[in-house]
Structure 1
Amino acid sequence: MTSLSPLLAKPVDLAPIWLVERVARSIFASVLKAHPDVFERLDTYRQTRYGFSPTDLRLHFTVVPATRTLTVSRGQPPLSDARIEGPLVLLLGLLEGRCDADALFFSRELSVTGDMEAMLALRNALDDSAIDLPRELGALAGPFSPLVAGTARYIRSKALEGRDTTWN
């Protein structure tokens, strides 16, 4: 399963953008809290506007490491210095370092535009960061933490089946 199921994509597409952004920012803040130095390796690329556009959702995420901000939008992709497009599960797999970015790029499952050096710097910054999104989601779920984390791990394993390899 490389693309997000339409059953999961439709509610996200129908949700108000402020709600999607609020959830995304909560997850982003949780990841930054657990990994406060994740952007330190970016050096001069911390000012870069990184764009992430899932091809299976009508959303665009923009991250500026220097200000630790994340914005979410619909419609045309917002201005960015470096943008990566691909299925959401692959973008999340890259965030966690679970997918081979080079293989996905050369197989054309991902598309990178803009400043390639900035994107490589981000990839290197995320490398060895040990981000675990199911754990982060579970941490936000309070008493439902084990259920949410377990469900997220199961979904991740099914979504990345056969692709769960590290970059290096």
Structure 2
Amino acid sequence: MQPALGRIVRRIAALHPSIFQRLGDCRSATFVIEPRDMGFALVLRPDPANPQLRAVKRDAIPDHRARISGDFLTLLALVDAGADGDALFFSRDLTVSGDTEAVVRLRNALDDVEGSIAGDAAALFGPPGQFLLSRLRDAAANVTPKEGPHAI
């Protein structure tokens, strides 16, 4: 999985260098992205000189500046075009800990990207990647929305 994640983060960095400008001093931060319904977490370090994205076991999460937890489909929606980043970010479906300002900067940087980061990542893997993203989008569309003011 590590080679694929490395390839994805380098491609996204090459396609969308403005992400780093929006992050400001958070470019050297370590972010943990934790899909609660998966057996691993992702560690993101958006350093423009050496961007890193890697999977780690939940019991091997490194020191980090901020952590974002949610189910996989909710986290995917954060990097997919058409999703309401504000609604997702402020929903009860995500848990943010650590440096909230760093998370807000990351979310704003991702929201400013033209198109879909998920789509860009899927395109790296050709038709199989596009097919998988399409199936994940279908699965997300079939999730019953939660009730309440913060529902997505």
TM range (shorter): 0.7 to 0.9
Q: AA paired with 2:84? A: D
TM-score scaled by structure 1?
A: 0.71
Tell me the residue number matched to 1:4.
Answer: none
Give how far 1:127 is off: 1.4
**Residues 116-135 of structure 1: pairs in structure 2 closer than 5 A:** 116-130=100-114, 131-135=116-120
Whether 1:62 aligns to 2:43 is: yes
Give 1:72's aligned residue.
55
| Structure 1 counterpart SS, 2:64 | coil
Within 1, Cα distance between the matches of 2:90 and 2:81?
A: 17
For this pair of structures, how many residues does the alignment match? Answer: 139
Amino acid corresponding to residue 39 of structure 2 in structure 1: R
Residues in 2 aligned to 1:84 and 1:42: alpha-carbon distance in whole angstroms: 16
Distance 1:132 1:105 in 2: 16
Structure 1 CA distance, aligned partners of 2:28 and 2:140?
Answer: 31
Please tell me the residue identity of whatever aligns with 1:116.
Answer: T
Distance 2:106 2:120 in 1: 22
C-alpha displacement at 1:104, in angstroms?
3.5
Cα distance in 2, alignment partners of residues 35 and 69 from structure 1:
15
Matched, 1:41 2:22: yes
Which residue of the partner structure matches residue 94 of structure 2?
110
> C-alpha separation between the residues in 2 aligned to 1:57 and 1:98?
24
Residue pair 1:97, 1:126 contacting (<8 A) in 2 also: no
Deviation at 1:82, TM superposition (A): 0.5
**Could you state the TM-score of these two structures normalised by the residue count of structure 2?**
0.77
Equivalence for 2:149: none
Matched, 1:155 2:135: yes
Distance 2:112 2:129 in 1: 24
Matched residues in 1 for 2:77 and 2:25: separation?
25
Distance 1:148 1:70 in 2: 18
Find the partner of 1:136 among 121, 139, 148: 121
Structure 1 residue 156: deviation in Å? 3.5
Runs of 5+ unmatched residues, structure 1: 1-19, 164-168
Identity of aligned residues (%): 31
Give unpaired runs (5+ residues) of structure 2.
146-152
How many Å separate the matches in 2 of 1:106 and 1:34? 27
